[in-house]
Amino acid sequence: MPRKRVSMRKIREVLRLKWERKLSDRQIAKSCQLSRSTINGYIGRAEAAGLSWPLAEDLDDEALEAQLYPKSVGVDYSDKPLPDWEEIHKELKRKGVTLFLLWQEYKLEHTNGLAYSSFTLKYRHWRKERKLSMRQHHKAGEKLFVDYAGMTIDITDPSTGEVKAAQVFVATLGASNYTYAEASWTQTIEDWLGSHRRALEFFGGVPEIIVPDNLRAGVKSPSYYEPDINRSYLELAQHYGVAVIPARVRKPKDKAKVEKGVQQVERSILAPLRKRTFFSLIDANEAIAKLLEAMNGKPMQKQKLSRKDLFVELEKPVLRALPQAAYVLAKWKKATVHIDYHVGLENHYYSVPYQYVGEAVELRYTQTTLEVFHKGKRIASHYRTLTLARGHRQTTLKDHMPDKHKFKGEWSADRFIRWSQKTGVYTAQLIEALLASRKHPEQSFRSCLGVMRLGKSYGDERLEAACKRACYLQSYSYKSVESILKHKLDKEALPQSLATGHDAQAHQVEQATQKQHQNLRGAAYYQEELN
């Protein structure tokens, strides 16, 4: 039976939770939504491979997989197929049917299945759990439940009078019910993770587990069996050293604690503030903080102690210390390396080693830095450039540039020049000017490819006319040609001096172009290099 494919990122998380956080297999199973036998298999393989935590920085996903699953190992049977215990339980009610008979039938269907002793043990465990009431008892410092309230709080723009609803984030500790609440503009990942950071700072420590509802910002793909945790959320968990175990879909008891906390916030804070007018998020959060302090300090009905009393007595002493370095939000984005060995991010292009042209990569970016990863290995990093001006900009590192004697990619300056010459004299002139506009022609490939695609969209005849106008204006750029075609300016007549296409004015334009771009390397140059 083939091995079920699991991402190396999930296996790394299993190893982190086991070796760094010292969690049990059951807790890891809930966090990663994997069976305990699978987790035990991963740990066993890692130990057999001689791995330890933290993993080596240069151990990318391919290297990790090779160590965990060497080719000589063969087929992996660590994931034993489990029977339908509900069906087993029902069949046992039939006259003459025994657990041994049902195990024999199970083994006929799954030859690599559980041994009889494991089969009976797991069935009895399932039957025992089936009878439990599932009443939740929370250990001090173990779980923090987080969610958004159903109610919102209105913020009025003082200049326009426009009213905007702000979201209310709620975090409740399991053992003491000590609660944190704040208003934020949205439920996006930036506000979601920012609220987590401020909540942990409010509590002054870190619990073992964070239990979110299946919110889109935190759980990318809600699933009963394997919810996909948002990559940025996973990084926050790793920064604080916690496990994230989402509430299961359609399992209200999993989130009963935070729902109770949300209800208390709505009754004790949001309802009393419903008639107040706030002109900023800061004002709203100041009002929330005052009522939150009163709510946490009020004795609970069934106990003489308040939430704060229980927190100070039970949970604060066992919460782990906050990390010294502040958490910095990083976002992730998938990209493909373009033919000019750059990747785009927010109107700016950043270089990667040219060998990765055409490869799928992941971008990890903060407000100040950008990192590019290929199969878990970092291949490039840049300080971010926030481009405010219109048009694209590039940041190119010299080490990422191709050696002209080694670079034999699908695209080349020679290929663009030959294509442009087939289209027309002015298209060729514009393409050569584009290639000459940069110190390294490869940096202009993106623009050349854009002009090439305009020919497919508008036809060669219109493209040649548009390039003629662009050359007349000495505006040698993809954007200029695109604008001419978009506004049909290529169909308008040029001044009479250029009507023939090869008169003195055209010659002057061509000379000006060559003078402006003295590092022009034409088709003959590249043909010589290839030879």
Domain coordinates in residue numbering, the chain: 8-73, 85-131, 143-315, 331-400, 413-530
Q: What is the pLDDT of residue 179?
A: 94
* More confident of the two residues 446 and 132: 446
Confidence category of residue 519, pLDDT binned at 50, 70, 90: very low
What kind and span of H or E run contains 63?
Answer: helix 61-68
- Tokens matching residue 371: 């990192």
Q: Given pLDDT bands bounded at 50, 70 and 90, which one contains residue 527?
A: very low
Question: What local confidence, expressed as pLDDT, does residue 99 receive?
Answer: 86
pLDDT at residue 507, rounded to an integer = 45
Q: What is the Cα–Cα distance from 421 to 522, expressed in whole angstroms?
A: 11
**How many Å apart are CA 251 and CA 211, to the nearest integer?**
13
The first and second tokens of residue 153, run together, are 């709080």
Return all residues near 154 (Cβ < 8 A) that are at least 6 apart: 163, 164, 165, 166, 277, 278
pLDDT at 253: 56
The pLDDT, as a whole number, for residue 155 is 93
Number of residues assigned to the chain: 531
pLDDT at 74 over 60: no
Separation of first and last alpha carbons in the chain: 52
Q: What is the DSSP string of 96-130?
A: T--HHHHHHHHHHH-TTS--HHHHHHHHHHHHHHH
* Residue whose token pair is 């990083």: 330
Distance CA 503, CA 505 (A): 6
d(CA 234, CA 264): 29
Contact status, residue 442 vs residue 401, Cβ threshold 8 Å:
yes
Spatial separation of the C-alpha atoms in residues 436 and 517, rounded to whole Å? 5
Tell me the C-alpha to C-alpha distance, in Å, between residue 38 and each of 41, 215, 221: 5, 26, 21
Helix 445-458 and helix 478-486, axial crossing angle in degrees, nearest 10: 20
What average pLDDT does this structure show over 175-188? 91
What would the two tokens of residue 453 be? 């695609």
Q: Do the beta carbons of residue 246 and residue 201 sit within 8 Å?
A: no
Q: Measured at the alpha carbon of residue 146, what is the angle toward residues 140 and 147, in degrees to the nearest 5?
A: 150
Q: Are 132 and 253 contacting, i.e. CB atoms less than 8 angstroms apart?
A: no
Torsion of CA 434, 437, 438, 439, to 10 degrees: 130
Lowest mean pLDDT, pick from 108-117, 407-416, 507-516? 507-516
How far is residue 299's CA from residue 309's CA, in Å, rounded to a whole number?
Answer: 9
Which of the two residues, 275 and 437, has the higher pLDDT score? 275
Confidence at residue 529, expressed as pLDDT on a 0 to 100 scale: 36
331-400 has which CATH code? 2.40.50
Supply the pLDDT for residue 75: 38
The span from the CA of 259 to the CA of 167, in Å, is: 16
Is the CB of residue 145 less than 8 Å from the CB of residue 172?
Answer: yes
Gyration radius (Cα) of the chain, Å: 32
CA 220 to CA 233: how far, in whole Å? Answer: 10
Judge contact between 439 and 452, C-beta under 8 A.
no
Reported confidence tier of residue 163, pLDDT bands at 50, 70, 90: very high
Residue-averaged pLDDT of the chain? 78
pLDDT at 130 over 70: no
Residue 433 pLDDT: 85
Position 207 scores a pLDDT of 93
Question: What CA–CA distance (Å, rounded) separates 168 from 195?
Answer: 10
The set of long-range contacts for 34-40, using a CB threshold of 8 Å and a minimum separation of 24, is 34/6, 34/10, 34/226, 35/79, 35/82, 37/78, 37/79, 37/80, 38/6, 38/78, 38/79, 39/14, 40/78
What six digits make up the tokens of 429? Answer: 């002139």
Evaluate whether 143-315 and 331-400 have a shared fold: no
What is the DSSP pairing of strand 179-184 with strand 209-212?
A: unpaired
Comparison of pLDDT for 274 and 415, the residue scoring more: 274
Q: How confident is the model at residue 407 (pLDDT cuts 50, 70, 90)?
A: very low
Q: How far apart are CA 38 and CA 525, in angstroms?
A: 59
Q: Which two tokens stand for residue 311?
A: 């927190």
CATH annotation of 143-315: 3.30.420.10
Question: What are the beta bridge partners of residue 219?
Answer: 229
More confident residue, 222 or 244: 244
Check whether 79 has a pLDDT greater than 60: yes
User: In the structure, how many helices (H) and strands (E) does the chain have?
Assistant: 19, 15
Looking at the DSSP bridge assignments, the partners of residue 364 are 332, 371
Burial 414-451 (b: 16+ CB within 10 A, else e): bbbbebbbebbbbbbbbbbbbbbbbebbbbbbbbbbeb
Q: How far apart are the C-alpha atoms of 356 and 298, rounded to whole Å?
A: 61
CA distance 444 to 438: 7
Mean pLDDT of 21-35: 86
What phi and psi, each to the nearest 5 degrees, are found at residue 438?
Answer: -120, 155
Interval 45-65 mean pLDDT? 82
What the block records as the tokens of 275 is 């008639």
Residue-wise pLDDT tens digits, 235-280: 898 999 998 888 765 555 556 667 888 888 999 999 999 889 999 9
Strand partners, 361: 335
Rounded to whole angstroms, how far apart are CA atoms 199 and 322? 11
DSSP 222-262: --SS--EE-HHHHHHHHHHT-EE-PPPTT-GGGGHHHHHHH
